A and B are shown apart, each in its own frame.
Chain A
Amino acid sequence: MSATLLGVSGLTKRFGGVAAVNGCSFQVDEGTITALIGPNGSGKTTAFNMITGYLPADSGEVTFAGRAVKRPNPTRLYRAGLTRTFQQARVFPGLTLLENLTVAISQPWRTLLRRNVAARDRERALTLLEEFGLERLGDRPAGELSFGQRKLLEFATVLMGEPRLVLLDEPTAGVNPVMVEQIERHVRELHARGLTFLIVEHDMHLVMRLCNPVIVLDGGATIKQGPPAEVQSDRAVLDAYLGT
């Protein structure tokens, strides 16, 4: 239960002299819903970008599933079971919802010239779309979706690769309350099925009821990691949020 799935130590990134992430260290245990919180600009997204291989780190180490990630690369990490969503909900606007999902299924090279959406993949994608309440729109281009629907679709897409750890970057920002509930339900269900989550989230009520432990980032460094109640009453965390 408490095996470390993702370990981050001393992660650092500077943008022109300003450290966005500065010696950030934390770990995510298998089977948890871990929250990563911190004031705006504290480096949460930047940390995600480095962990998932979108941004080369200046220094620091990342381990995933017990192995050091030497040269992080989004494609390889996805195949290894580490995946993420983006803060502004990125989907493939020109592809249909079904295609959005099936393109995320790992395929061997030899099937390259086979039909784009194989019957079996279609089944799987439809099932997932049903779970997310998007099955009606299966053959519509994703560009037609509302922002909230895009967030759902993006979430659904990353599940196609059967990940072990999902990083969600502000899954509920800009989404209506009904959909927030829906997203929370999905996280809980998937968690019950054995998925581990690392979630950047601004809605503190959601964090407090959904996540444990909570990691707090300030100025690019971890200042606290612990159960929600403990974090909530921590002096340093309050200071960080109140800006003193």
Chain B
Amino acid sequence: MSRLTRTGVLRAVVVFGALAAFPFVFPAQWIVNIAIFTLMYAGLATAWNLLGGFSGYLSLGHAAFFGVGAYAIAIAFTHIGIGGSGYKPFFALPLVGIVVALVSVPIAWVALRVRAATFAIVTLTLLFVVQQLAFNLHHLTHGSQGLALPPPPFDVSTFEQPFYFAMLGVFALAFFTCWWVKGSKLGLMLFSIRDDEDRARGVGVRVTGAKVIAFALSVGFTGMLGGVWAYYIQFIYPQFAVDPLITIGAVLMAFLGGKGTVWGPTVGAFILVPAQQYMAYKLGASELYLLGYASVFLLIMLFLPRGIIPSISDHLARRRSGRPDEPPGAVASAPRATLPGGMAP
């Protein structure tokens, strides 16, 4: 399987070229604002996909690492004083990513010793632990009062642009990493884990190592996005920086577009975030918006669990080979050779 097809590269060049030109073509602040959140979620969904979509380990706690990244930048601002010059926090982002990734390694190692369902439980619990930490470590985070960052000294008319390009940069990094991993040996290992981890262990795949690497990459990008977000929002509270809705949004987008694919999470984000912003604008009340979110999620799970991209590419493949329509998921539904309890008989 060749890693770089011509159409693939062309598609990426066109999309990222268009994204780079976007804020110059549509400079209106509210549009760029929506675009920033779209890119943020595209990055979050792509990063989540690197673990959840590739290895099948569904993390429900990525928001924890988003929050860690956000607080890292905010704390560095207030306690170490990296602020002031405007662009400095952006240069700290790679460091944030690396630190979050390294911190996650022991957590991943513990959490990934168990099978997928327990992993999901541990990550969910982690989310609340980190939120609780943000409340309790008062001297660092100012607890529930929140932490304010000094306003960046950017020109008002193009205020959003630095954030837009920072988000785009992190998103692109996550995207190309995902692309690269998908065509690499690491990707092959992750997919074999997703299909049948016990058997992967039996043919020499170093499953723990592969999972930990995927986890660290995934949360590293998530932390960086949190950092940009904190600087952009300028005021962070525990319940917003470590918000389950952030994970749920990212997961939803990955599922809508197609988990395990390179473009799926991006497609999902580009559809859902603008729609969500529109809904928030129309419906106003955030309670209704929660209900809307849940309904969309349930509908996708029930009616399009494989996502847009796999469904389309199946359809195209069938048309090309002239075969009649098979029930969707004929391939993916191949019997999983596990008995109840997940043990090899």
Interfacial residues, chain A to chain B (CB-CB below 8 A): 45, 49, 52, 54-55, 73-75, 78-79, 83-84, 86-96, 99, 102-107, 109, 111-117, 139, 141-144, 157-158, 160-161
For A90, what are the chain B residues with a Cβ–Cβ distance below 8 Å? 196, 198-199, 337, 344
* Closest chain B CB from A234 CB (angstroms): 28
For A143, what are the chain B residues with a Cβ–Cβ distance below 8 Å? 330-334
For B186, what are the chain A residues with a Cβ–Cβ distance below 8 Å? 112-113
Q: Out of A93, A111, A160, name the residue touching B331 (CB < 8 Å).
A: A93
* Number of A-B residue pairs at CB separation under 8 A: 123
Interchain CB contact under 8 A, B337 and A92: no
**6 closest Cβ contacts across the A-B interface?**
A143-B334, A93-B334, A104-B203, A92-B195, A78-B204, A90-B337
**Which residues of B (299-345) have their CB < 8 Å from a CB of A?**
330-337, 343-345
* Closest chain B CB from A8 CB (angstroms): 18
User: Who on chain B is nearest to A145 by CB?
Assistant: B334
Q: Which of B89-97, B137-145, B177-185 lies on the face that meets chain A?
A: B177-185
Interchain CB contact under 8 A, B202 and A78: yes
Interface string of B1-18 (1 = CB under 8 A from A): 101000000000000000
Interchain CB contact under 8 A, B202 and A54: yes
Please give the number of chain B residues whose Cβ is less than 8 angstroms from any Cβ of chain A in the complex: 39
* Closest chain B CB from A167 CB (angstroms): 10
Query: What would 10 A/B residue contacts be, using CB atoms closer than 8 Å?
Result: A74-B201, A75-B206, A78-B204, A86-B199, A86-B345, A90-B344, A93-B195, A99-B188, A103-B189, A103-B200
For B334, what are the chain A residues with a Cβ–Cβ distance below 8 Å? 93, 142-144
Interchain CB contact under 8 A, B191 and A92: yes
Given contacts A54-B344, A91-B196, A113-B180, could you give 9 more A-B pairs where the C-beta distance is less than 8 Å? Answer: A54-B198, A73-B201, A90-B199, A92-B196, A106-B204, A107-B185, A113-B181, A114-B185, A160-B203
User: Who on chain B is nearest to A101 by CB?
Assistant: B203
Interchain CB contact under 8 A, B345 and A94: no
For A83, what are the chain B residues with a Cβ–Cβ distance below 8 Å? 202-203
For B40, what are the chain A residues with a Cβ–Cβ distance below 8 Å? none
Whether, in the assembled complex, B46 has its beta carbon less than 8 Å from a beta carbon of chain A, the answer is no
Q: Out of B192, B209, B345, name the residue touching A95 (CB < 8 Å).
A: B192
* Closest chain B CB from A16 CB (angstroms): 13
* Closest chain B CB from A123 CB (angstroms): 15
Most chain A beta carbons < 10 A, residue from B185, B187, B331: B185
User: Who on chain A is nearest to B213 by CB?
Assistant: A112
* Closest chain B CB from A232 CB (angstroms): 28
Interface string of B193-228 (1 = CB under 8 A from A): 011101111111111010001000000000000000
Interchain CB contact under 8 A, A112 and B199: no
Q: Given that A84-B202, A116-B188, A117-B1 are contacting pairs, would A144 and B345 also be in contact in the complex, using a CB cutoff of 8 Å?
A: no
Q: Given that A54-B198, A96-B1 are contacting pairs, would A116 and B185 also be in contact in the complex, using a CB cutoff of 8 Å?
A: yes
Q: Out of B3, B192, B207, B344, name the residue touching A49 (CB < 8 Å).
A: B344
For B345, what are the chain A residues with a Cβ–Cβ distance below 8 Å? 45, 86-88
User: Who on chain B is nearest to A78 by CB?
Assistant: B204
User: Who on chain A is nearest to B337 by CB?
Assistant: A90
* Closest chain A CB from B315 CB (angstroms): 16
For B187, what are the chain A residues with a Cβ–Cβ distance below 8 Å? 116
* Closest chain A CB from B213 CB (angstroms): 7
* Closest chain B CB from A142 CB (angstroms): 8
A115–B3 Cα distance when bound, in Å, is: 7
A54–B333 Cα distance when bound, in Å, is: 25
Q: Given that A93-B332, A95-B195, A114-B185 are contacting pairs, would A75 and B343 also be in contact in the complex, using a CB cutoff of 8 Å?
A: no
A108–B130 Cα distance when bound, in Å, is: 35
For B331, what are the chain A residues with a Cβ–Cβ distance below 8 Å? 93-94, 141, 143-144
